[in-house]
Amino acid sequence: MSDKQTKTSREKYAEVAYYPGCALEGTGHAYNRSTKALGKALGLKLKEVDNWNCCGAMEVKNIDPKLQTYLSSRVMSIAANKMKMDVVMAPCNGCYHNLKRAEWDLQNDDKSKEVVGRLSQKAGHETYQAGQVETIHALDWIKDGIGEDGLKQRVKNSLKGVKIANYYGCMYTRPRHIFPEKDAGAGSESTSKPHFMDDLLAAAGAENVDFPLKTACCGGAHTLSDSDTSTRLVANILQTAEAAGAEVIATECPTCHSGLEMHQIRAEKTLGIKTSVKIIYFTQLLGLALGLKPRTVGLQENVSDSFAYVKEKGLA
Amino acid sequence: MNASAARYIADIGGRLEQLIGQPDPGASAEMLTLGEEILEHWVRARGKEPTGDEREGFRLLALHRQGADKDPSFNACRETCRELAYHYNLLTLQPDHEESVQRARMMALVANHLYLFISGKMETAGLGEFCCSSKPIRTGLTGGVDGNRSAQ
């Protein structure tokens, strides 16, 4: 049995290749900042993937899915072959989804293998082979790298009294076949009712509300082409969260997060629907629970202004 | 065409708005039917006859499966449909529960999400008749919002 197979998740996730992706350098910068700060506070190391590229996002995938497979495979190839890492951690749902999809394609589709081999050769880097790295989300990283008990031991400012609706978005669990580690029994993530974010925030003292739209579509893909539909979908998510008793929507995807923030404002302006629920990354909430300052977790970079709220809750 | 499919999808949205504003635990069956009607619109717009089958005891879930055929992105509303079925069960199995009104409100909001998702998807794809004024847009008579939408 190889070292890679015998290592526990806790050992494997202690140091991971970090793939922030494009969004975390732009609209999702607060997620980037808080993920790094949280890792540091928890003693988990991140080594950013050298010279990483776009995962292919939606744009490339819609035009040429095989090219998206190649672009995602290049990121994994650098992590595996150049950096000699076993695990790639992608906090963005879109990046995470695309890397997992590329992994699946390279395991199951000969045409994808052929295209990736040809383009890798042309680009002058080693071809990624399926199984060389394990791709995980930031939620897996904390959940399996530290765990709820480990988190509880480190909490300095309990999230007690913070009522949260956990919003996972639609790409974290879909399509099911590219996430073979989910729905794998006790302790694994569920694709129909994901709970890793709920578990982590509960460990930090938060009160999770029963939120029926955890994985519902926010219209993110149509945010530019059909903004009104996106606004209506987001307004319904926000209203449902508030009706469920939430004061905060916790997010784990930069696209979902910025969509909720922007359309919260737009819903008030265009539809007259005013909601006051705060939108905060789960990494920011956990960081605050560990005693990090709001600015350290990038709260000032959020559009949704939650400074007064976190102060009121004794988190700042 | 049965009676339910004759209702414009926008009218379903209007009824759901009423049910969100005035949640009624006794309207669980109606909300489930509204969910089925929304899915029927999607299925019909894609040229198929809505199934009468059930899946896990719900026609709603069978209709969702039918709607997702050859369109995997439609699975983005899979859990919304399952939540609708779940809330129906809550309301019918525990009609006198102290949180019945809250449950009815949540069921209406979940059904509304299904409505918004599907009506938005139909509008973007230029499918179906979401209101009486949509036909000229849909058939390209006005050139559509972007001026060059082709007839469906």
Give the pLDDT confidence of A161-208 residue by residue, as tens digits: 999 999 999 899 999 999 999 999 999 999 999 999 999 999 999 999
- With a cut of 90, say whether residue A310 has pLDDT above it: yes
Residue B47 falls inside a structural domain: yes
Specify the pLDDT at position B145. 36
What pLDDT does residue A207 have?
A: 98
Q: Tell me: do A161 and A89 sit in the same domain.
A: no
* Average pLDDT of span A125-142: 98
Evaluate whether residue A151 is within a structural domain: no
* Tally of structural domains, chain A: 2
Residue B149: inside a domain: no
A1 part of a folded domain: no
Q: Does B53 fall in a domain?
A: yes
User: From A219, which residue of chain B is nearest by alpha-carbon distance?
Assistant: B117
Residue after which a domain boundary falls, among A137, A169, A191? A137
Nearest CA in chain A to B17: A236
Position A100 in a domain: yes
pTM: 0.91
Same domain, A185 and A132: no
Domain-embedded: residue B148: no
The predicted pLDDT at position B71 comes to: 87
Q: Strand order of the sheet with strand A248-251?
A: A207-208, A163-167, A248-251, A278-281
Q: Look at A213 and B80 and tell me if their CB atoms are within 8 Å.
A: yes
Residue among A166, A213, A260 with most chain B CBs within 10 A, to mutate: A213
Is A121's pLDDT higher than 60? yes
Task: Tell me if A6 is assigned to some domain.
Answer: no
* Residue A253 in domain: yes
Residue B144 within any structural domain of the chain: no
Residue B129 confidence (pLDDT) above 70 = no
Residue A2: inside a domain, yes or no?
no
* Predicted confidence band of residue A301 (pLDDT cuts 50, 70, 90): very high
Mean pLDDT of the residues in chain A: 94
The Cα–Cα gap between A16 and A100 comes to: 16
**Nearest Cα to Cα of residue A143 among A89, A218, A95:** A89
Between A95 and B1, whose confidence is greater? A95
DSSP character for B58?
B
Query: Which residue of chain B is at minimal alpha-carbon distance from A217?
Result: B76
* Residue of A82 and B147 predicted with greater confidence: A82
Residue pair A279/A302 in contact by the 8 Å Cβ criterion: yes
Tokens of A105: 């394609």
- Stretch A110-129: mean pLDDT: 97
Q: What is the Cα–Cα distance from B19 to B31, expressed in whole angstroms?
A: 9
CA distance to partner chain B, nearest, from residue A225 (Å):
9
Assign A58 a pLDDT band (cuts: 50, 70, 90). confident
Chain A residues inside the 8 Å CB shell of B79: 192-193, 214-216
State the pLDDT confidence band at A231, using cuts at 50, 70 and 90: very high
Tell whether A286 and A226 lie within a shared domain. Answer: yes
**A164 - beta bridge partners?**
A208, A248
Q: Within this chain, do residues A77 and A170 fall inside the same structural domain, yes or no?
A: no
* Cβ separation B110–A233 shorter than 8 A: no
- Min CA distance, B113 vs chain A (Å)? 7
Mutation pick from B79, B89, B114 vs chain A, by most beta carbons of A within 10 Å, is B79
What are residue A269's phi and psi, to 5 degrees?
A: -70, -45
Domain assignment of residue B145, yes or no = no
pLDDT in tens, A21-52: 999 999 999 999 999 999 999 999 999 999 99
pLDDT of residue B72: 85
A211, closest residue in chain B (CA to CA): B106
pLDDT above 60 (res B132): no
Task: Name A46's bridge partners.
Answer: A16
Q: Is the domain of A282 the same as that of A183? A: yes
Asked whether the predicted pLDDT for residue B56 surpasses 50, the reply is yes
Of B105, B110, B120, nearest to A213 by CB-CB distance is B110
Contact A244 B77 (CB under 8 A): no
Tally of domains within chain B:
1
Mean pLDDT lowest among A143-152, B79-88, B138-147 = B138-147
Pick the residue of A179, A192, A225, A229 with the most B CBs within 10 A to test the interface with B by mutation: A229
Q: What percent of chain A has pLDDT over 70?
A: 97
Report the pLDDT averaged over residues A145-173: 96
Confidence of residue A3 (pLDDT cuts 50, 70, 90): low
Lowest mean pLDDT among A254-263, B48-57, B102-111, B117-126: B117-126
Q: Measured between beta carbons, which residues in chain B are less than 8 angstroms from residue A260? A: none
Å between A192 CA and nearest CA of chain B = 6
Residue B66: give the domain boundaries.
4-138
Dump pLDDT digits (tens) for A189-200.
999 999 999 999
pLDDT exceeds cutoff 90 at B131 = no
CA–CA dist A70, A54 (Å, integer): 11
Report chain A residues whose CB lies below 8 A from the CB of B77. 216-217
The verdict on a CB contact (< 8 Å) between B83 and A239 is: no
Is residue B121 situated within a structural domain? yes
Please give the average per-residue pLDDT across A216-241, as a whole number. Answer: 87
Q: Are residues A127 and A173 in the same domain?
A: no
Q: Is B87 on the interface with A (CB under 8 A)?
A: yes
What is the residue range of A23's domain? 13-137
CA A116 to chain B, closest CA, distance in angstroms equals: 24
Q: What is the pLDDT of residue B128?
A: 55
The CATH number of the domain holding residue A277 is 3.40.50.11810
Within 8 A by CB and 6+ apart from A140, the residues are: A13, A89, A189, A196
**Domain-embedded: residue A143:** no
